[in-house]
């Protein structure tokens, strides 16, 4: 039986392992950490349970698809429910808005609060749907680095309608020309953060993202986000995939222009196929040091990182839901500080995820488990101890002002994750959550392909390569990479 080795047991590595197993390969996965899931991890502290990494779950059919490969009913192993309320938004002027999953209800309620004609919102969302429908088959489901992708009727159709994609203007420019109320502009600008970019730099094509939330819905996986990676890990083990934990890969072996296996901290292994789920920057600098490096790709601006406070709260807040956003007063300054100065603004946009709203056992009775995150620059050697302390003070001040409750009085336990720790735990270069930023209209084409141009039988998947970061794109990355690999 042909053998495949996967470097890294993040969700993309697990997905790639499952796809190769379904193709008949004997598959082994090597992971530096002692657990599966990569960024999708969890921990418990003082009676509170916290998801560590991603907190938004959409397009769950990509997870179900991996169970279906083996003719297994995913509902017997992994369950989720759709959220009626996508997100609660709060502004310092005292206004708030809840985005409902029903598109017509959203249009009606948004038109009333933001004083915008329903037809304007409908046109914006229709254009978002057009963007997705025109480009998803090209940018999200196929390799951008194979000529056959471009010689198709689908590509020709997209080229004829390029004017609908708003590639020549930023997301903010598109939103400012679409809406007058700055709060609504800010709400739609936020979607740039879904790939770690700035709405003032990323192209207007990113306005397709709200379509994905409203068309496909947002979901809560029973037990929390950690269950996504763990259900797939259990499936992989059941299908015969072998995992080697606490056994990091030191180098990818190659000979005569072919990948031949890996050398780990323990021993060397031979294989017919190697797939790296490691961030593309350390993949070249650590695992393939003698190969020529694609400098243009590796030196791209990195995406934003995150600073996360995990707070056990001894109080319940009925005005909050699973997803909550407290907006800054000056969004543009916030992103300027992140990307231009590699610093944090004094006024921050704060995201709070509370899984105990869905699973009450994630917090003691009467309490809530708060995952409190801000967008942050990557790790460029800043004084993170000082930045963390200042951010904590400013976050507490903002939440307290908006909710009119002295939040610090209700924090009974705390843990912190900053870009330094993200980089250390996940090998993500500079702690970037999505690899390269999408602050350019050419960013999609500059992402590293899912295959090596120098070594045969070497492939790449994960958030730092095509098509990008976030759970749905990472799962698509595994599919694109393994679709390039023949049956065993």
pLDDT (0 to 100) of residue 258: 97
pLDDT (0 to 100) of residue 362: 98
Phi, psi of 374 (to 5 degrees): -125, 150
Whose structure tokens read 């600098």?
285
Q: The sheet that has 273-276: what strands, in order across it?
A: 242-244, 26-30, 3-7, 273-276, 458-460
Specify the 3-state DSSP secondary structure of 485.
coil
Contacts of 145 (CB under 8 A, 6+ apart): 449, 450, 451, 466
pLDDT (0 to 100) of residue 150: 42
Q: Which CATH superfamily is domain 3-39+227-300+438-483 in?
A: FAD/NAD(P)-binding domain (3.50.50.60)
Residue 438 has pLDDT above 60, yes or no: yes
Length of the chain: 488
Token readout for 34 is 């002692």
pLDDT (0 to 100) of residue 140: 63
Lowest-confidence region among 164-173, 211-220, 342-351: 164-173
pLDDT band per the 50, 70, 90 thresholds, residue 151: very low
Q: What angle do CA 116, 122, 126 make, to 5 degrees?
A: 145
CA 166 to chain centroid: 23
Residue by residue, DSSP assigns 91-114 as -TTS-EEEEESSHHHHHHHHHHHT
State which H helix or E strand residue 460 sits in. strand 458-460
Cα separation of the two ends of the chain: 7
Residue 160 has pLDDT above 90, yes or no: no
pTM (2 decimals)? Answer: 0.94
Burial of 48 (0-12, 13-18, 19+ CB in 10 A): buried
d(CA 304, CA 342): 9
Number of H helices, E strands in the chain: 16, 20
442-461 pLDDT per residue, tens: 666 678 999 999 999 999 99
Which residue in 218, 219, 224 sits closest to 356, CA to CA? 224
pLDDT band per the 50, 70, 90 thresholds, residue 38: very high
d(CA 426, CA 261): 22
More confident residue, 160 or 16: 16
pLDDT (0 to 100) of residue 138: 62
pLDDT band per the 50, 70, 90 thresholds, residue 328: very high
Query: If you average pLDDT over residues 6-28, what whole number do you get?
Result: 98
* Crossing angle (nearest 10°) for helices 11-22 and 226-238: 30
Which residue in 173, 52, 133, 166 sits closest to 425, CA to CA? 52
Query: If you average pLDDT over residues 84-109, what whole number do you get?
Result: 96
pLDDT (0 to 100) of residue 15: 98
253-289 pLDDT per residue, tens: 999 999 999 999 999 999 999 999 999 999 999 999 9
Query: If you average pLDDT over residues 31-41, what whole number do you get?
Result: 96
Q: Beta strands of 296-410 (E only): which ranges?
A: 305-313, 323-326, 350-353, 368-376
State which H helix or E strand residue 370 sits in. strand 368-376
pLDDT (0 to 100) of residue 145: 55
Longest dimension (CA), the chain: 67
pLDDT (0 to 100) of residue 2: 96
| Per-residue DSSP letter, 375 | E
Residue 143 has pLDDT above 60, yes or no: no
Residue 141 has pLDDT above 70, yes or no: no
Domain boundaries, the chain: 3-39+227-300+438-483, 107-215
d(CA 385, CA 403): 27
Residue 331 has pLDDT above 60, yes or no: yes
338-370 pLDDT per residue, tens: 999 999 999 999 999 999 999 999 999 999 999
| Per-residue DSSP letter, 402 | H
Which residues share a beta bridge with 4?
Answer: 27, 273
| Per-residue DSSP letter, 10 | B
Contacts of 255 (CB under 8 A, 6+ apart): none
Distances (CA, A) of 183 to 85, 115, 272: 19, 11, 54
């Amino acid at each position: 039986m042909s053998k495949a080795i996967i470097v890294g047991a993040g969700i993309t590595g697990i997905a790639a392992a499952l796809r190769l197993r379904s193709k008949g390969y004997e598959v082994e996965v090597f992971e530096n950490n002692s657990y599966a899931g990569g960024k999708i991890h969890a921990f418990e502290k003082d009676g509170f349970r916290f998801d560590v990494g991603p907190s938004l779950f959409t397009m769950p059919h990509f997870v179900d698809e991996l169970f279906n490969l083996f003719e297994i009913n995913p509902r017997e192993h992994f369950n989720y429910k759709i959220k009626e309320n996508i997100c609660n938004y709060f502004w310092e002027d005292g206004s708030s808005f809840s985005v409902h999953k029903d598109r017509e209800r959203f249009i009606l309620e948004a038109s009333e609060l933001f004083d915008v004609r329903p037809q304007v919102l409908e046109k914006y969302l229709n254009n978002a749907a057009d963007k997705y429908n025109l480009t998803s088959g090209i940018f999200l489901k196929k390799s951008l680095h194979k000529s056959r992708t471009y010689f198709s009727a689908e590509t020709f159709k997209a080229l004829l309608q390029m004017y609908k994609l708003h590639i020549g203007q930023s997301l903010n420019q598109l939103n400012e020309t679409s809406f007058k109320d700055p709060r609504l502009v800010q709400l739609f600008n936020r979607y740039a953060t879904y790939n770690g970019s700035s709405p003032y730099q990323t192209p207007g094509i990113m306005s397709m993202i709200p379509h994905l939330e409203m068309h496909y819905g947002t979901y809560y996986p029973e037990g929390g986000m950690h269950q996504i990676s763990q259900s797939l890990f259990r499936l992989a083990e059941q299908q015969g995939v072998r995992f080697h934990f606490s056994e990091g890969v030191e180098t990818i072996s190659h000979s005569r222009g072919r990948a031949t296996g890996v050398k780990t901290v323990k021993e060397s292994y031979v294989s017919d196929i190697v797939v790296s789920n490691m961030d593309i920057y350390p993949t070249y600098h650590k695992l393939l040091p003698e190969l020529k490096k694609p400098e243009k790709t590796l030196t791209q601006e990195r995406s934003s990182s995150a600073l996360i406070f995990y707070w056990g709260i001894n109080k319940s807040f009925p005005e909050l839901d699973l997803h909550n956003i407290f907006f800054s007063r000056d969004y543009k300054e916030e992103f300027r500080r992140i990307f231009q100065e590699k610093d944090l603004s004094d006024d921050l946009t704060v995201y709070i995820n509370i899984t105990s709203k869905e699973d009450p056992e994630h917090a003691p009775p009467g309490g809530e488990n708060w995952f409190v995150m801000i967008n942050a620059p990557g790790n460029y050697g800043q004084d993170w101890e000082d930045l963390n302390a200042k951010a904590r003070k400013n976050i507490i001040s903002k939440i307290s002002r908006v909710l009119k409750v002295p939040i610090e009085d209700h924090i009974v336990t705390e843990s912190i994750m900053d870009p330094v720790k993200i980089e250390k735990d996940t090998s993500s270069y500079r702690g970037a959550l999505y690899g390269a930023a999408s602050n350019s209209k050419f960013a999609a084409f500059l992402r590293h392909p899912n295959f090596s141009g120098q070594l045969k039988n070497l492939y790449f998947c994960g958030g730092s390569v095509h098509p990008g970061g976030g759970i749905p794109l990472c799962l698509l990355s595994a599919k694109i990479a393994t679709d390039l690999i023949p049956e065993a």
